[in-house]
Amino acid sequence: MATTSSWVAHASREPNAGMIRALHEWIDDSVRLAAATPGSCPFLADAVFAGIVAHTDRALHKRRQRPTFLSSHPCGLQSLAAHGLRPMCDVIDHDEFGPEELLVEHTGGTSTLAEAIASAAGADMSAFVPVFTESEFMDADLFHLHNAQLLNPRHGGVVIPFMIVPVGDSEQETQDREDIVRAMGFTSYTFECDWDDFTLEDHTRLALLMEDVLDEIVQIKSDAEARLLSRPPLWPLVEMRASPGEGFR
């Protein structure tokens, strides 16, 4: 696997070509190894999930944060087996704080977004990355727990939600979804690509999107720290457009 020096990895806002190549290889390796191994984790076996893991991990590693990923899908790994190392530990040489384990929680029937918000609203100042489908987000029984206003911008942790949405929705359906997302205290950042042919350019676009998302979160945190927030902020939520089967396998 291609690796990059710790001096170079996060030297610029956008990841350099070496980092993009390394991310691409990590995702490929993750999916291929999972396919060859009976019993695995959706975060390692699925290209969409593995892409989320790799890119979110890069953006948070750069900011000295360690994410916990949450999925409602069952994990095929043995109960005592860990999920391996976080991607940046494979990609970056000689990281001062490595190696670190990849943190993944499988919530079973519970909403990943609700779990993430509850954790971040509590004493944990870390980053939580729930991945869920649109129908999970809209679940009437849990909808009230998906409100970003439950988060504390100054003293709480951070939630970076990824919602898998269908490709080919009409303009009206998209608009309706945006309105609901906004009503729940989020603002959406949309990413779409051909998941069967995830190119280096797609990686660059996703990395840039993650920079925008993290910059927005940092801005919210800064404003809260400076007591400049006059109303509850709109937290970023990433909409990943994927065909049925992608992101659900």
Partner 1 sequence: MKTPISSWVTHAGREPAEVVVNAMDEWWRNTRTPRAAEVPCHWRRDALHSLVLVHVDRAAHKRRHQPTFVSAAPCDSPGEDHGLTPMSAIVRDDTYGPQPVRIVHANPESAVGRAITMVRGEEGTLAVALATETEFDDADFFDAHRASLVNPLRDGVALAIIHAELQGPEAAHQVMEREDLLRAAGYAAYTIDLDGDDDDHTVHRHLAGLLEDVFDEVAGIKADAAARVLSSTPLWPALVIRTFPLWRQRHSALTAHAAELPLKRSR
**Contacts with partner 1, residue ranges (CB under 8 A):** 4-8, 10-11, 16, 18, 61, 63-66, 93-97, 125-126, 154, 158, 217-219, 221-222, 225-226
d(CA 15, CA 9): 7
Give the amino acid at 113: L
- Residue 152 Cβ, how far from partner 1 at the closest point, in Å? 11
Tell me whether residue 159 or residue 193 sits nearer to partner 1 (CB atom).
159
- Residue 83 Cβ, how far from partner 1 at the closest point, in Å? 18
Tell me whether residue 30 or residue 65 sits nearer to partner 1 (CB atom).
65
Give the amino acid at 37: T
Asked if 5 and 96 touch (Cβ cutoff 8 Å), the reply is no
- Residue 100 Cβ, how far from partner 1 at the closest point, in Å? 9
Tell me whether residue 144 or residue 154 sits nearer to partner 1 (CB atom).
154
Which of 45, 52, 95, 64 lies closest to 193, judged by CA?
52
The residues facing 145 across adjacent strands are none
d(CA 178, CA 163): 12
d(CA 102, CA 55): 13
Give the amino acid at 25: E
- Residue 131 Cβ, how far from partner 1 at the closest point, in Å? 21
- Residue 164 Cβ, how far from partner 1 at the closest point, in Å? 26
- Residue 39 Cβ, how far from partner 1 at the closest point, in Å? 31
Tell me whether residue 19 or residue 41 sits nearer to partner 1 (CB atom).
19
Tell me whether residue 199 or residue 219 sits nearer to partner 1 (CB atom).
219
Tell me whether residue 74 or residue 99 sits nearer to partner 1 (CB atom).
99
Asked if 147 and 183 touch (Cβ cutoff 8 Å), the reply is no
Using CA atoms of 37, 101, 134, 28 in order, give the dihedral in degrees to the nearest 10.
-50
